[in-house]
Structure 1
Amino acid sequence: MQSFRTELENPLVEKDIIELEQKIRLFREGQIPDEKFRSLRLARGVYGQRQPGVQMVRIKLPYGKMTLQQWKRISDISDEYSTGNLHLTTRQDIQIHFVSLERTPELWAKLELDDITIREACGNTVRNITASDKAGIDPEEPFDITPYADATFRYFLRNPICQDMGRKFKMSFSSSDRDTAFSFMHDIGVIPKIRVVDGKEVRGFKVMLAGGLGAQPMLAKVAFEFLEADQLIPYIESVLRVFDRHGERASRHKARIKFLIQKIGFEEFERLVKEEYKAIKSKSVPVDAAAWPADALPAEDAVVPAYTIRDPKLYEAWKKTNTFEQKQKGYYGAYLRILLGNISSVTSRALVEQLRPVVADDVRVTVNQGLLLKYIKPEHLPYVFSVLEQHNLAAAGFDSIADITACPGTDTCNLAISSSTGIAVALEDVINNEFPDLIYNNDIKIKISGCMNSCGQHGLAHIGFHGSSMKAGGKVLPALQVLLGGGLVGDGVGRVADKVIKVPSRRGPDVLRSLLHDYETNGNSGELFNDYFDRQGERYFYDLLKPLTDLTSVKDDDFVDWGQAQTFATAIGVGECAGVVIDLIATLLYEAEEKQVWAAEALANGAWADGIYHTYSSFVQAAKALLLDENVNCNTQHGIINDFEKHFVDTGKLDIGGFKALVLQINQHEPTESFAKQYFAQAQTFYKAVQQYRQTKTEAPAAASV
């Protein structure tokens, strides 16, 4: 592949991109194992697709924000390197698909020209930090959480403590007690609070810890009812350090923080977090919210071209369901329903140019795969609608039951079992054609995932579906697991949906019809769907839907999934969200040496805390290499430290003193210059001892055979 050089102003970013290009070349030359390379590219937002030979690139948009220029840049990038489609995700990212691996460094460099990153968008890292899309304009917010979400994103980007954890880590910032960023389903989710102390208002957050969806959903626990704002980032840093050291690394399905707390208990986890406080980089991280840049508002004297509204009745419905008055009086926000989260680059560029005069330079991707436009004057709402109408984006019912969330499913994902997108379109057709008034129902949410991993967030839906399979007559047919009763309660409280029944995928529309007709008939006046579900009970809905599971009457069409032409067959690939366990001795030793190089660079720049953590990682990687060479399982970093003491120090194989005490100095000292340099020197000495042991061991069999 041909090398290139970037012209970026940020040397850290430029180094990142050049390193990716170099590692791709080494991988193609066979010098980096596939498993190691997969881990590396995932941390750079490059994700393998279901289709061999091409990549999905995930573009990281902190709290879902993009400027109009960034939106245009992403659109241009999709045309040049992808298919001209922008896929909006439930984590407020944008994904583009079918990208050549060799072109990803160049793609990344062009994105960074407008301050857009793909760094840590995938892999065992801190993923995109999500937030309520209304943040900053929410009439119910106690204060704007945007500066705090942004500071958190920047603090942990490229932070050594979270580059290669046992699994991914997700965070969210809600704008109010309505908790529209779903704090209860995140590793850390926060809700803004204000307390009055000595007559002064103090900003802080309710902190929720260790929630998650996936195959084994768990609701988050309350870590703090109120944590002062300057203590939030230090607390998160301590949590991440504990997760990195004690989190599972061998079993992918037990590697999230919720399982660590389930294993050791909440009290023990809190004790470990407090133990880290002495060693963290900053004991207080204040955020100067007052200095946060003001929104770039549209011009006061904006002039719009002549326009026509083709469907005045639809305009009134759209205005009622898709717009709201901001806390800034005289301005409105307007939501766009984006079917399946897919919007073309051509449409995107047209919207940027046509809407630029009348919207703020701040567009938000929403958690249900839509878009939010801000700071629209009421007199400009008709014009905005007319533009959307031109591009078939004027559908009413944003965030209603008709606005279905779905992951890409079998279209591109390795893990998907059955189609998400095809069934989502079929269900929206049922609502639009048979229950049109439900565009005004914002109570019920429908969410669909292609598998149990819940990228479509089916686990928190009132009516959820995830892809599955069934057997009939010796053949396999696509199926949907039906879940009911999930949803948002507020202020950190949520509900996980119950699995009710599995049906053939082709009967998904009949499931929805049965549920909605029964709700219409048997629901009490004004009764919310989840209250109705609780009153009737899970068994009631199992019995209601049981006739749809009858496989004695399956037809040929039942064996063909939605949107497909071929007979269904399960074809699950290797998942990449969690990265992999690396068990190659030479690779681990190479990594240990590489981390010492990074530590030396950090120390040279006076970044003592970063240097210390790179040094710690070097200790662990080198120890892991020798343990694996002795066929000792390595599940956690803490386990590696203990096992190395047991198998190499206590047995006298390596005369290095107490290894555990040596390594765990990391949380016994302030991150000072003197400790950083001392710790680094000790790591260098240890690494030389490891190399010498390996050399002696490999030479002994050779000598014996002479």
Structure 2
Amino acid sequence: MSNLVISEKVSSVAKRDIIDLNNKINAFNSGETPEEAFRKFRLTRGVYGQRQPGVQMIRIKLPYGRITADQLVRIADTSDKFATGNLHATTRQDIQLHFVKLSDSPQLWADLEDAGITLKEACGNTIRNVTASSVAGIDPDEPFDVTPLTHSIFTYFLRNPINQDMGRKFKIAVSSSEKDSALAFIHDVGLIAKMGVNEKGESVKGFKVLIGGGLGAQPFSAQTAFEFLEEKDVIPFIEALLRVFDRYGERVRRHKARMKFLLNDLGLEGMMARVAEERTAVKNKVFAIPEDLFGTNASESINHAPRPSVSEEEIMKIAAESISGADMEIFTKWLRTNTFEQKQKGWYAVQLRVLLGDMSSDTARKLADIVRQYAADDIRVTVNQGYILRFVKGEDLVAIYHALNSLGLAAPGFDSTMDITTCPGTDTCNLAISSSYGITRVLEDMMKSEFPEMIYNQDIKIKISGCMNGCGQHNACNIGFHGSSIKNGKLVLPALQVLLGGGFSGDGIGLIGDKVIKVPTKRGPEVLRMLFADFEANAYDGEYFNQYYARQTKNYFFQLLKPLADLSTLQEDDYRDWDHDELFKTEIGVGECASVLVDLVATTITEGQEKLNLAKENFESGIWADAIYHAYNVLITGAKGLLMTKDVTTNTQYGIINDFESNFGKEFKYETPSQFVLPDAEETPFRSLAFSINKFEPTEEFASYFLDTAEQFLNFVRSTREAQLLENGEPALQELSFGKDS
């Protein structure tokens, strides 16, 4: 978009990001920037390639899912202007817009930033959206509101140099109580609120800390790093952990590049020992969480002083004035499954069940009006792709029901068995194998018709992903499905991999589901029929589904469902996916979550210069720790560039440092002030410099030395490359353009 308009309300750092995106799109379109380098860049700006060529998915980053009514309207308006008029809520409490032109993405971002909404680091190898319990702040079971900590994590690590170019993405979740409604057990870092006692014997806020969880083809449950860590120590711990992941994490083999694999390699004790080594260098040794953050709870927009509770009987009396017959039965179900009294007495939360997580822009604008009239200006997107409204008066529940019902947002059964979580699947995703939306619609309709009581069941959760990667979190629920395929002779048919026993056990432990059997996708409804019938017939009174699964064992369920895997009885329709008339064929594109290693030396030198510029900016602003880390990244980037000239395969940062020593280490020389000399005399100058990153406090003096030496190193890389080109008779070094600043 040539005429980029950015309002004065947009912060200077966001404005620069938007202009930078616009410039790099222009440079990419003109051929100045290689495709892989550009892809790496745009992903960290929330711009993600779709299955359909020529259009993008835009991921809007909403920390802990919070938006105001005005922000919801802005997202709706933006979708109308640049996308399809649809808002897709995700399992990470984001909202996604689809079918956006690449050239429109900078203006789209500018329009959102005007309303205080960012795309920064929504995709790519960074910290993704920080999720939290959608009921945080109103949860009757919570020991305290985790929203301030979650918001602080988001702001602390946004644009933080330690997570700008990691080997893979990094996910953090914060749960408000031991019920773990944010699914801490499947995250790289999961935090569960609890009260504890400090060294002075005082009662203090803190968290159980889990690390190394993850889904995908090889799911892991997180391990316990701390049973209790004081709130003030949480952010410094995460920072130190990220520094370890950044330095030692895999960067070549995408399927091994998540933190769970590094933890598996190092072991918990080894991981925690390396984290402890980083404590000297972290920016803050403790980080007190302020309680007055913008948007930390609904008290800012509503007087939430306790009010008299309104009983269900009183609500039903109000309802009787405007609802009757079969409509009253639906309202009663909605009241019992989609509302609850908050910890603030007399105030109620209203939960919206949204099919497939999709909401039209017109509906979103009308929902914003409902919020303004009846609720606090604090909407939360939920991890099961719905929405929750907060601080509704009990006497207004009937009125808000009518308003929501007119929009199709009053379907009962929020977060019940009937409320299936799903990813977009083959509708838009490059990696999807089969349709997620189609099977979700069919299963929900089937349950509504044949198992209507499932709207009251909070024990059995169903989640669906279009492939094994787990965006629909199919590994972390009682009954999960992921898209797959089955070959039958020369033909291929769409299939569902059935997983059972994931999610939470009866005693609250988070579990990863077992792969039990693969069946043709058209037999998905029969899978549920058989599971429900078997559970109803054979489970003990009060037995949870996962307890029943564990008692019967995986083989029992394999034998139960085995007849559905029989291919001898296939019909022609089995070769067609849900929502499709054509015969099925697998069409899998290239995923965009992987780390992209740019194999052009000139590009790495350009990247190094950009990181050096950021280091200087932070130094001038007095942010010594960030200046040091940006300068450290100059070392890694430059070293990687020169190693490419000798066809040395680069991987972890730790490995790059060691490989550079073997190939170039003794050639780079500089003067080290005595106070910064490491005791190991065997270190080469480069190793000594790189490994000093966690040996000294992030002072102005150390930052000045480290930044100056990093600049010397980048000049060494540039001159070495120029000498190589001259020796080989090749053209002089031409650093690739990433677009001119404006």
TM-score (norm 1): 0.96
Query: CA 1:463–1:689 in 2, change beyond 3 Å: closer, same or farther?
Result: same
CA–CA separation in structure 1 for the residues paired with 2:99 and 2:514 = 36
CA–CA separation in structure 2 for the residues paired with 1:62 and 1:289 = 17
CA–CA separation in structure 2 for the residues paired with 1:493 and 1:588 = 45
CA–CA separation in structure 2 for the residues paired with 1:179 and 1:410 = 30
Q: CA deviation at 1:544?
A: 0.8
Tell me which of 346, 358, 369 is aligned to 2:362. Answer: 346
Residue 107 of structure 1 corresponds to which residue in structure 2? 108
Residue 161 of structure 1 corresponds to which residue in structure 2? 162
Residue 256 of structure 2 corresponds to which residue in structure 1? 254
Q: CA deviation at 1:579?
A: 3.6
Q: Secondary structure at the match of 2:481?
A: strand
Residue 611 of structure 2 corresponds to which residue in structure 1? 595
Q: Secondary structure at the match of 1:265?
A: helix
Q: Are the counterparts in 2 of residues 190 and 205 from structure 1 also a CA contact under 8 Å?
A: yes
Query: CA 1:492–1:128 in 2, change beyond 3 Å: closer, same or farther?
Result: farther
Residue 735 of structure 2 corresponds to which residue in structure 1? none
**C-alpha distance after superposition, 1:434-469 (max 9, x if no partner):** 011111111000000000011000001111000000
Q: CA deviation at 1:280?
A: 0.9
Residue 659 of structure 1 corresponds to which residue in structure 2? 686
Aligned residue type for 2:691: L
Aligned residue type for 1:685: Q
Q: CA deviation at 1:362?
A: 0.5
**C-alpha distance after superposition, 1:352-394 (max 9, x if no partner):** 1134211110011110001101111111000111112111221
Q: Secondary structure at the match of 1:278?
A: coil
Count residues in correspondence: 700
Residue 381 of structure 2 corresponds to which residue in structure 1? 365
Tell me which of 464, 469, 483 is aligned to 1:467. Answer: 483
Q: Are the counterparts in 2 of residues 238 and 274 from structure 1 also a CA contact under 8 Å?
A: yes
1:195-210 matches, cutoff 5 A: 195-197=196-198, 198=200, 200-210=202-212
Q: CA deviation at 1:307?
A: 9.3
Residue 219 of structure 1 corresponds to which residue in structure 2? 221
**C-alpha distance after superposition, 1:6-54 (max 9, x if no partner):** 2234111111101010010001011111111111111000100000000
Residue 67 of structure 1 corresponds to which residue in structure 2? 68
Residue 45 of structure 2 corresponds to which residue in structure 1? 44
Q: CA deviation at 1:201?
A: 1.9
CA–CA separation in structure 1 for the residues paired with 2:546 and 2:505 = 10
Residue 7 of structure 1 corresponds to which residue in structure 2? 7
Residue 516 of structure 1 corresponds to which residue in structure 2? 532
Q: CA deviation at 1:128?
A: 0.4
Residue 173 of structure 1 corresponds to which residue in structure 2? 174
**Structure 2 residue 230 is the aligned partner of structure 1 residue 228:** yes
Q: CA deviation at 1:653?
A: 5.1
Residue 499 of structure 2 corresponds to which residue in structure 1? 483
Residue 133 of structure 1 corresponds to which residue in structure 2? 134
CA–CA separation in structure 1 for the residues paired with 2:292 and 2:330 = 40
**C-alpha distance after superposition, 1:620-639 (max 9, x if no partner):** 10000111111111110110
Residue 678 of structure 2 corresponds to which residue in structure 1? none
Q: Are the counterparts in 1 of residues 225 and 268 from structure 2 also a CA contact under 8 Å?
A: no
Q: Are the counterparts in 2 of residues 8 and 109 from structure 1 also a CA contact under 8 Å?
A: no
Q: Secondary structure at the match of 2:721?
A: helix
CA–CA separation in structure 2 for the residues paired with 1:390 and 1:25 = 45
Tell me which of 670, 695, 702 is aligned to 2:697. Answer: 670
Q: CA deviation at 1:531?
A: 1.2
Q: CA deviation at 1:689?
A: 1.6
1:306-705 matches, cutoff 5 A: 308-309=322-323, 311-489=327-505, 493-649=509-665, 652=666, 654=668, 657-702=684-729
CA–CA separation in structure 2 for the residues paired with 1:512 and 1:441 = 14
Structure 2 residues not aligned, in runs of 5+: 308-317, 671-683, 732-742
Aligned residue type for 1:297: I
Residue 291 of structure 2 corresponds to which residue in structure 1? 289
Q: Secondary structure at the match of 1:465?
A: strand
Residue 77 of structure 1 corresponds to which residue in structure 2? 78
CA–CA separation in structure 1 for the residues paired with 2:730 and 2:414 = 74
TM-score (norm 2): 0.92
Query: CA 1:179–1:491 in 2, change beyond 3 Å: closer, same or farther?
Result: farther
Q: Are the counterparts in 2 of residues 309 and 385 from structure 1 also a CA contact under 8 Å?
A: no
Structure 1 residues not aligned, in runs of 5+: none
Q: Which has the larger displacement, 596-605 or 139-148?
A: 596-605
CA–CA separation in structure 2 for the residues paired with 1:683 and 1:199 = 46
CA–CA separation in structure 2 for the residues paired with 1:16 and 1:306 = 55
Query: CA 1:140–1:472 in 2, change beyond 3 Å: closer, same or farther?
Result: same
Q: Are the counterparts in 2 of residues 403 and 446 from structure 1 also a CA contact under 8 Å?
A: yes
Q: CA deviation at 1:587?
A: 0.8
Aligned residue type for 2:230: E
CA–CA separation in structure 2 for the residues paired with 1:346 and 1:560 = 33
Q: Secondary structure at the match of 2:593?
A: coil
CA–CA separation in structure 1 for the residues paired with 2:506 and 2:226 = 16
Q: Are the counterparts in 2 of residues 62 and 129 from structure 1 also a CA contact under 8 Å?
A: yes
Aligned residue type for 1:165: M
**C-alpha distance after superposition, 1:66-112 (max 9, x if no partner):** 11111111111111111110000000000010001101110111101
Aligned residue type for 1:121: A
Q: CA deviation at 1:225?
A: 1.0
Q: Secondary structure at the match of 2:459?
A: coil
Q: Which has the larger displacement, 193-202 or 183-192?
A: 193-202
Percentage identity across paired residues of the two chains: 54
Aligned residue type for 2:91: T
Q: Which has the larger displacement, 574-583 or 46-55?
A: 574-583
Q: CA deviation at 1:536?
A: 1.1
Q: Are the counterparts in 2 of residues 179 and 491 from structure 1 also a CA contact under 8 Å?
A: no
CA–CA separation in structure 1 for the residues paired with 2:663 and 2:68 = 55
Q: CA deviation at 1:233?
A: 0.5
Residue 275 of structure 1 corresponds to which residue in structure 2? 277
Residue 190 of structure 2 corresponds to which residue in structure 1? 189
CA–CA separation in structure 2 for the residues paired with 1:669 and 1:166 = 25
**C-alpha distance after superposition, 1:605-634 (max 9, x if no partner):** 212111111100001100001111111111
CA–CA separation in structure 1 for the residues paired with 2:411 and 2:608 = 54
CA–CA separation in structure 1 for the residues paired with 2:270 and 2:330 = 56
Q: Are the counterparts in 1 of residues 668 and 685 from structure 2 also a CA contact under 8 Å?
A: no
Aligned residue type for 1:13: A
Aligned residue type for 2:697: E
Q: CA deviation at 1:199?
A: 5.3
Q: Secondary structure at the match of 2:568?
A: coil
Q: Are the counterparts in 2 of residues 447 and 457 from structure 1 also a CA contact under 8 Å?
A: yes
CA–CA separation in structure 2 for the residues paired with 1:367 and 1:387 = 24
Provide the alpha-carbon RMSD of the alignment.
2.0
Q: CA deviation at 1:493?
A: 3.1
Q: Are the counterparts in 2 of residues 166 and 247 from structure 1 also a CA contact under 8 Å?
A: yes
Q: CA deviation at 1:585?
A: 1.3
**C-alpha distance after superposition, 1:297-354 (max 9, x if no partner):** 27999xx999944711111111011111100000110111100000111011112113
Q: Which has the larger displacement, 365-374 or 191-200?
A: 191-200
Q: Are the counterparts in 2 of residues 308 and 386 from structure 1 also a CA contact under 8 Å?
A: no
Q: Are the counterparts in 1 of residues 371 and 389 from structure 2 also a CA contact under 8 Å?
A: no
Q: Secondary structure at the match of 1:503?
A: strand
Tell me which of 238, 245, 248 is aligned to 2:247. Answer: 245
